[in-house]
Amino acid sequence: MKKILILGGTTEARQLAGKLASRASVTLSLAGRTESPVAQGVPTRVGGFGGAEGLACYLTETGKELMIDATHPYAARISANAAEAARKTGVPIVALRRPGWERVEGDRWTPVDTVGAAVQALGTAPRRVFLALGRQEIAAFEAALQHQYLIRSVDPVEPKLAVPDATYLLARGPFHEAEERALLEKHHIEILVSKDSGGAATYGKIAAARALGIEVVMVRRPDLPKVPSAETVEALVALIEQRGVDHFL
């Protein structure tokens, strides 16, 4: 069986691994940022590779014949390293690029380019803020001590944010609109900070904010390398089969 490396950390990566496992030898790689990831169903490695050079060495040493970038839309560095490693080794690469959310009537979005810009977009007056971001990125909000924060994460935030008023909530998606609306109302949220993650699993908060007329500070996606890609698991499997990457299927 041919050897495939999937760079994962998303629900789609796990689904993709399941679809390919019967016809190829699949290894799913996780960055290790989540302390208790859900079961992946295929052989898994956890941790970084040591940049593009380290990933290139891994591909060569393990004889991988295809690499699939199915990382989060905001994992720009990993995606860049993957594209560079593919170039160095000649190992074909394809990517799963989940489309972003589309703004619809009733949405009150303030688009920003960085998390730092999101902090500024909150303004100077105290507000009740829902931070729907990764726990690695919320430290920037220590620059805005006047706000009250609701912080949701899969794993505990350690150390806690150095702000006078923060509430922490441990939860793993998917999150549905009705649940998100109840959460926003319970905590009297006035503004939400989110990434444009795309997909259905975390869209509930966006729909709930729209229904309640709550402003959303939306952090735009970073630029990613241009490689052959598809928007869904099914489309990516079809792309691989159609192109017959090195006739591996």
Q: Domain range spanning residue 92? A: 3-99+223-247
At position 129, the amino acid (one-letter code) is V
Based on the fold, state whether residues 87 and 113 are members of the same structural domain: no
pLDDT in tens, 187-203: 999 999 999 999 998 99
Based on the fold, state whether residues 16 and 76 are members of the same structural domain: yes
Judged against a pLDDT cut of 60, whether residue 246 lies above it is answered with no
pLDDT in tens, 131-153: 999 888 899 999 999 999 999 99
Instruction: Give the CATH number, domain containing residue 40.
Output: 3.40.50.720
Based on the fold, state whether residues 227 and 211 are members of the same structural domain: no
Q: Hey, which bits of 119-203 come out as E strands?
A: 128-132, 148-153, 166-170, 191-195
Give the separation between CA 32 and CA 221, rounded to whole angstroms: 22
Based on the fold, state whether residues 215 and 228 are members of the same structural domain: no
Judged against a pLDDT cut of 50, whether residue 103 lies above it is answered with yes
- Does the residue 62 lie in any domain? yes
Based on the fold, state whether residues 40 and 132 are members of the same structural domain: no
- Does the residue 11 lie in any domain? yes
Based on the fold, state whether residues 215 and 237 are members of the same structural domain: no
If one counts the domains in the chain, the total is 2
Least Cα distance to 77 among 54, 61, 109 occurs for 54
Give the separation between CA 54 and CA 17, rounded to whole angstroms: 23
pTM for the whole structure: 0.89
Q: Dig out the tokens for 61 from the structure.
A: 């040493």
- Does the residue 133 lie in any domain? yes
Give the separation between CA 46 and CA 29, rounded to whole angstroms: 6
Dihedral (Cα; 139, 191, 120, 132), 10-degree rounding:
30
- The answer to whether the CB of 64 falls within 8 A of the CB of 3 is yes
Based on the fold, state whether residues 227 and 203 are members of the same structural domain: no
Judged against a pLDDT cut of 60, whether residue 214 lies above it is answered with yes
- Does the residue 202 lie in any domain? yes
Give the separation between CA 33 and CA 99, rounded to whole angstroms: 23
Based on the fold, state whether residues 129 and 147 are members of the same structural domain: yes
Q: Hey, which bits of the chain come out as E strands?
A: 3-7, 25-30, 44-46, 66-69, 93-96, 109-112, 128-132, 148-153, 166-170, 191-195, 215-219, 229-230
Based on the fold, state whether residues 127 and 207 are members of the same structural domain: yes
pLDDT more than 70, % of the chain? 94
Judged against a pLDDT cut of 50, whether residue 230 lies above it is answered with yes
Based on the fold, state whether residues 134 and 213 are members of the same structural domain: yes
**What number of CA atoms fall less than 13 Å from residue 136's CA on the CB side?**
7
Q: Tell me the sheet residues that pair with 227.
A: none
Based on the fold, state whether residues 85 and 124 are members of the same structural domain: no
Q: What's the mean pLDDT in 207-219?
A: 98
- Does the residue 104 lie in any domain? no
